[in-house]
Chains A and B, each alone.
Chain A
Amino acid sequence: MKHIVDIHVDRCIGCTRCMRACPTEAIRIKNGKAHLLNERCIFCGNCIINCHKSAYKVSGDSFANLNKHKISIVILPISIFGMVTSMEELGGIYQILYNYGFDEVYDLSLVTALLKEKINEFLKRDDKTYILSQCPSVIRLIQLKYPSLLPNLLPFDFPFEIGAKLVRKIASEKYQVKEEDIGISYVSECLSNFIAIKEQLGKSQSSIDNVFLLNDLFRNSIESKDMEIQVAKKGVQFAKVGTFDCMTSLHKVISVDGIKQVDEVLEKVYLNKLTNIKLIEAYSCIGGCVGGNFTLENTYVSKWKINQFCDKIDDGSSDKLVKRYRGLLKDQEWFFENALKPQAPYKLSDDLNQSIIKMNKINEILKQLPNIDCCACGSPSCRALAEDVVNQVKTINDCCMLKKEE
């Protein structure tokens, strides 16, 4: 995995805030600067949000890339509806994107509306508890901590990937050009989606050519503009947690947001304690995608805006849109291309005996440490320091408390 999140070493002061906020112990402070252990990172963005020095640097692609294709199309994330309360305001957003040089703008509501139908259909197959995650962070968490739950994951690809395939087809027909002449850009609301595209999670090649960050594109105020825009109302609610609660016919849905809460619910599934639940809808960010770390509006205000927006659009045109594009993609185009594999980034050694020897050493070292988890050593807990010592990335002298006693 490449380094996608860079750290400005000149800004980082090694304060340990990011390390303590990381849910998977993926950060260490070495020589006073934060370092990321890529294989443990689940792209949740907590480190970025918690850094008070703006030391984390994520860069979207360059606008120069838009010249590589005959036609440039941009797809807006579903959380865009958390920024607008009317079609006119959405028109303002479209105008900004046209000004950047895009030929056409789409949003994901059509995809999520269709996806909802597909999921409902899929759930009828058997009695298993399924986990729906359009959130790559949740998927990574399952790969890392709950690999035996991978068969419970709904195999649908991320909405932005499905959207890119769909839009490419629609546009190649409309403009009468080959599919490869169309460049597709996505505006990402969070680190998680950004990295899932860059790392091709669940596929050999992403359908998206460029990714931009939402907070980079819409810094200036948005002016309302009248425009002919088609939105699929049924898909809009997908931007916030709890979409499937409305499927009251099921009554067997748990919607959970926030990575810590998600972890707890997954643990219950893992322990077979939720076998009477049909669907777990899980988002790493609080509030769902409207809570993404690159969004510009407050999560709760966003939720209100979505409802305002939905109140103003009629169901009829939305239904027509869904009907028109329902069969455009082949069945397999809705699913991940490659099965998601378990990951074991915490394994001490490939050999069982070696692991046990190391584990015993960790326990020995831990006895010497003060066990107060102060983090000043640059590891997220005393136990983590003991592990780092055994893995030879730190020494016991890194413990500040032991030094003090001397």
Chain B
Amino acid sequence: MNIKFEFDIYHDDYQRAGSASSEIKKYLAQIGLSPKLIRKIVISSYEAEMNVVIHSFGGKLKIEIEDNHISLTSVDTGPGIENIDLALTEGYSTASQKVREMGFGAGMGLPNMKKNSDTFEIESSPKGSIVKLSWVIV
């Protein structure tokens, strides 16, 4: 059995930022995953969503459940991450002062995603970034 959800995420849309993750939370509870697993997925999807809002020109968040496997993919249209190793360092951020004043962009996005997922992959070029996370349902 498999199921897919897809969400459009817009650049700079701070008003609705986080709403895709809220919906994911609702759907996963309906499907009946354990609260612990749901929280890991939702924390990760929130960070992914915020990254697209803050750093990209816009993109999509996709979540798919197949057999005992859940994958979350965020795809955006650029401008890409200059230095992935640095971006993976806790507290490193390229977010503007304005964004930080709103309480976002603390430089914990990618590290949080990595910490909360079973597998974590990232690819980036000036054309855009793809972050893929996955979990096993036990």
Which residues of chain A have a CB within 8 Å of any CB of chain B? 145, 147-148, 267, 270-273, 342, 344, 346-350, 352-353, 355-357, 359-360, 363, 387
List, sorted by A's number, 5 A–B pairs whose CB atoms are closer than 8 Å.
A145-B29, A148-B38, A347-B30, A356-B31, A363-B3
B137 touches A359 (CB 8 A): no
A350 touches B32 (CB 8 A): yes
| Known contacts A342-B35, A352-B137, A356-B1; A271/B43 CB under 8 A | yes
Chain B binding surface, main DSSP class: helix
CB distance from A381 to the nearest CB of B (A): 12
B29 touches A344 (CB 8 A): yes
| Known contacts A271-B43, A352-B137, A355-B30; A148/B2 CB under 8 A | no
A356 touches B46 (CB 8 A): no
Which A residues touch B27, using CB under 8 A?
359
Q: A148-B38, A270-B39 are in contact. List 16 more A-B contacts (CB 8 A).
A: A148-B36, A148-B39, A271-B46, A272-B43, A342-B35, A344-B29, A346-B26, A347-B29, A347-B31, A350-B32, A355-B31, A356-B31, A356-B65, A359-B27, A359-B31, A363-B3
CB distance from A23 to the nearest CB of B (A): 13
Q: How far is the CA of A357 from the CA of B2 in the complex (A)?
A: 8
B22 interface residue, CB < 8 Å from A? Answer: yes
Chain A binding surface, main DSSP class: helix
- Give the residues from 17 to 50 in chain B that come closer than 8 angstroms, CB to CB, to chain A: 18, 21-22, 26-27, 29-33, 35-36, 38-39, 42-43, 46
Q: How far is the CA of A363 from the CA of B27 in the complex (A)?
A: 11
Which A residues touch B21, using CB under 8 A?
271
Which B residues touch A347, using CB under 8 A?
29-32
Give the 5 A-B CB pairs with smallest separation, nearest first: A147-B35, A148-B35, A347-B32, A356-B1, A355-B31
CB distance from A256 to the nearest CB of B (A): 16
Q: How far is the CA of A270 from the CA of B112 in the complex (A)?
A: 13
B30 touches A348 (CB 8 A): yes
Which B residues touch A273, using CB under 8 A?
103
